[in-house]
Chains A and B, each alone.
Chain A
Amino acid sequence: MVKPQQTLTQQLLRYGLYGILTVAALVYLLPLWVMLLTSLKDVEEIRSGTLLSLPGSINFDAWGKAWSGACTGSTCEGIAPFFVNSFKIVIPAVLISTLIGALNGYVLSLWKFRGSELLFGAMLVGCFIPFQVILLPMARMLATLGLANTTTGLVAVHVTYGVAFTTLFFRNFYVGLPKELIAAARLDGAGFFFIFRRVVLPLSTPIIVVCVIWQFTQIWNDFLFGVVFSGSDTQPVTVALNNLVNTSFGGKEYNVDMAAALMAALPTLLVYVLAGKYFVRGLTAGAVKG
Chain B
Amino acid sequence: MNPKSLSLPETGTVRPVTLRLQDRLAAQLPKLVLAPTVIVTLVAVYGYMIWTGLLSLTSSRILPVWKFIGTAQYSKLLENDRWGVAVENLIIFGGLFILICLVLGVLMAILLDQKIRAEGVLRTIYLYPMAISFIVTGTAWKWLLNPGLGLQKTIRDWGFESFTFDWLVNPDMVIYCLVIAAVWQSSGFVMALFLAGLRGVDQEMVKAAQLDGASMPMIYRRIILPCLKPVFFSAFVILSHIAIKSFDLVAALTGGGPGYSSDLPATFMYQHAFTRGQMGLGAASAMLMLGGVLAILVPYLYSELRSKKNG
Q: Which residues of A contact B (CB under 8 A)?
A: 17-18, 20-21, 24-25, 28-32, 34-35, 38, 46-47, 50-52, 100, 103-104, 106-108, 111, 113, 116, 119, 122-123, 125-126, 128-138, 140-141, 160-161, 163-164, 167, 191-193, 217, 220-224, 227-228, 238, 241-242, 245-246, 254, 257-258, 261-262, 264-265, 268-269, 271-273, 276, 279-280, 283-284, 287-288, 290
Contacts and interface: CB of A to CB of B under 8 A. Distances in A.
20 contacts: A24-B122, A30-B144, A34-B144, A113-B30, A126-B44, A129-B45, A131-B245, A132-B286, A136-B273, A136-B282, A161-B44, A192-B26, A221-B135, A223-B135, A238-B248, A241-B136, A258-B143, A265-B136, A284-B196, A290-B234
B116 A221 contact: no
Contact of A283 (B192, B265, B269): B192
A100 B251 CA distance: 32
Contact of B125 (A20, A25, A265, A284): A25
Contacts of B127: 272, 276, 280
A20 B157 CA distance: 26
Interface stretch (B12-20, B94-102, B145-153, B218-226): B145-153
B164 interface: no
B143 A34 contact: yes
A28 B135 contact: no
B182 interface: no
Interface of B: 26, 29-31, 33-34, 36-38, 40-41, 44-49, 51-52, 55, 64, 108, 111-112, 114, 116, 122, 124-137, 139-144, 149-151, 153-154, 157-158, 184, 188-189, 192-193, 196, 234-235, 237-238, 241, 244-245, 247-248, 251-252, 255, 265-266, 269-270, 273-274, 279, 282-283, 285-287, 289-290, 292-293, 297, 300-301
B234 A160 contact: no
A90 to B, nearest CB: 12
A24 B235 CA distance: 21
B286 A128 contact: no
- Majority SS at the chain A contact face: helix
Given A130-B290, A137-B52, A52 B154 contact: yes
A141 B44 CA distance: 9
A279 B131 contact: yes
Nearest to A262: B136
A105 B137 CA distance: 34
B153 A246 contact: no
Given A21-B116, A268-B133, A290-B237, A108 B34 contact: yes
A133 B290 contact: yes
